[in-house]
Amino acid sequence: MQQEDFLYLTPLIIIAGMPVLIMVIMTFTKNFPVIFGISILGLYAAILSVLMPLPELPHAVSSFIRIDAFSIRLNAVILIGGLFITLLSYDFLHYQEGEKTEYLIVIFVALLGTMLLTASVHFISFFLGLETLSIALFILIAYRKSKDQAIEASVKYFVLASVSSAFLLFGMGLIYVGTGELSFPGIASALAEDKTNDVLLLAGFGMMMVGLGFKLALVPFHMWTPDVYQGAPAPVSAFIATVSKGSVIAVLYRFFYELRLFEIENLVVIISVISVLSMFTGNLLAIRQNNVKRILAYSSISNLGYLMIPLLTGDQTGLQALMFYVVSYIFTTLGAFGVVAVLSGREREAEMIADYRGLFWKQPVLAIVFTVMLLSLAGIPLTAGFMAKFYVVFAGIGSNLWLLVISLAINSVIGLYYYLRIVVAMFLPKDVPSLKVLSFTASLVLILLTAGILWMGVFPQQLLEIFAGISSF
């Protein structure tokens, strides 16, 4: 490594150093507000370091990591999401019995895994980032160790994540045997020169899709999702649904675009089937739910199905649609889970639709925030969700992916039903019990997220201009 490499790795170094710093501080004091404040400052520093000007892009740090416009912009989104989740976690941790600072340590470890994923161009860094993220999530899901439901959810995630990792490693091994390469550029060169074993490659790509399908909760690898979302604390469910999946999507798209896998017809057919099944399964199963966290879990399955459309386009329009959709989905889902988090208490979480009945008459601002988030997930105009789906449809039509586009349109209508069920419940008259006073941090985060969702829905071109620098991999 050269000296300038450390400049490009500054955000990852800050995030990697924060768990060590917190453990050192804990030897002097265990004052949670102090440690929480230092953690927030560390996240601010990491965000600022991502946004600082760099001498030259793209920049390869050895053969494992590439810092480019794609990774920088996604890492900025991931770190902002991590900051919001940490702020929303304060109330949850306030009610948590026992040690609280370990939660912050594990959050930073999980963020390190996500940032490594977005910059990975090699199977080794890819797998290290994924496992760093997964191991941290096992701990976060079971953080409320006194709750049997949390332990059960963590065990389910642990078992299925281990199986998916085995599939992923097997697929990587087959690709290495077929090409003799482990780096994305090396595999792309071998494919371009036709120095490959087609049978091994197709099997390897298929095994990798199985492994990544588990991580992204695509059908038919989705069964863990509602149970884990329901069992995990609301801020952790938000992390899994947004930051975690956003980073896996990033490395999947980089892998697909760099190797031009959208040109392999059999692979396109397989992913198209997975996409359509994910859309319909997620939306149809969500209709039957009365648990808000399970509804959001099934919603995430359908949204990941939508995101497979720009994956198959293979052009600049698809890449921009991907970036816009990821940002919109992350911030909208964060806002939805944020409302669940701030309404939850020590004994139980506000996760049933009945818990939101009449919310408007007790907490009108909170009800409006939740309504905006749900309408954005449904794709209603003037929200970020509408523009995100519009750009995805536009990219799909440009690449003649008519089956996927029509499926998206049908499922957007289906999704309206279960989103509006929650919205209607919030405006029904009911003498609900008094709600706790919202903290300043939670209120600020939810207001910022709501403003961002409306801004992206009204002025989408400004966000697209930010992504204009991402021309290719």
Per domain, the residue ranges of the chain are: 264-473
pTM of the model: 0.91
Beta-bridge partner residues of 412: none
pLDDT tens by residue, the chain, 473 residues: 677 778 888 899 999 999 999 999 988 888 888 888 999 999 999 999 888 877 777 788 888 888 888 888 899 999 999 999 999 888 778 776 667 888 899 999 999 999 999 989 999 999 999 999 999 998 888 887 777 788 888 888 888 888 888 999 999 999 888 888 888 888 888 887 775 567 788 888 888 888 888 888 888 888 888 888 888 888 898 999 999 998 999 888 888 888 888 888 888 888 999 999 999 999 999 998 888 989 999 999 999 999 999 888 877 788 888 889 999 999 999 999 988 888 876 666 778 888 888 888 888 888 899 999 999 998 898 899 999 999 999 988 988 889 999 999 999 999 899 999 999 988 888 655 556 667 778 888 899 999 999 999 888 888 887 777 665 55
Judging by beta carbons within 10 Å of its beta carbon (0-12, 13-18, 19+), is residue 395 exposed, middle or buried? buried
3-state SS, residue 120: strand
Q: Which helix (H) or strand (E) holds 66?
A: strand 65-67
The token pair at 397 is 């039509």
Rounded Cα gap, residues 202 and 366, in angstroms:
49
Helices then strands (H, E): number in the chain?
A: 21, 2
φ, ψ dihedrals at 281, nearest 5°: -65, -50
Rounded Cα gap, residues 100 and 281, in angstroms:
37
pLDDT at res. 67: 86
pLDDT at res. 400: 86
Nearest alpha-carbon partner for 117 in 81, 84, 77, 75: 75
Rounded Cα gap, residues 160 and 460, in angstroms:
38
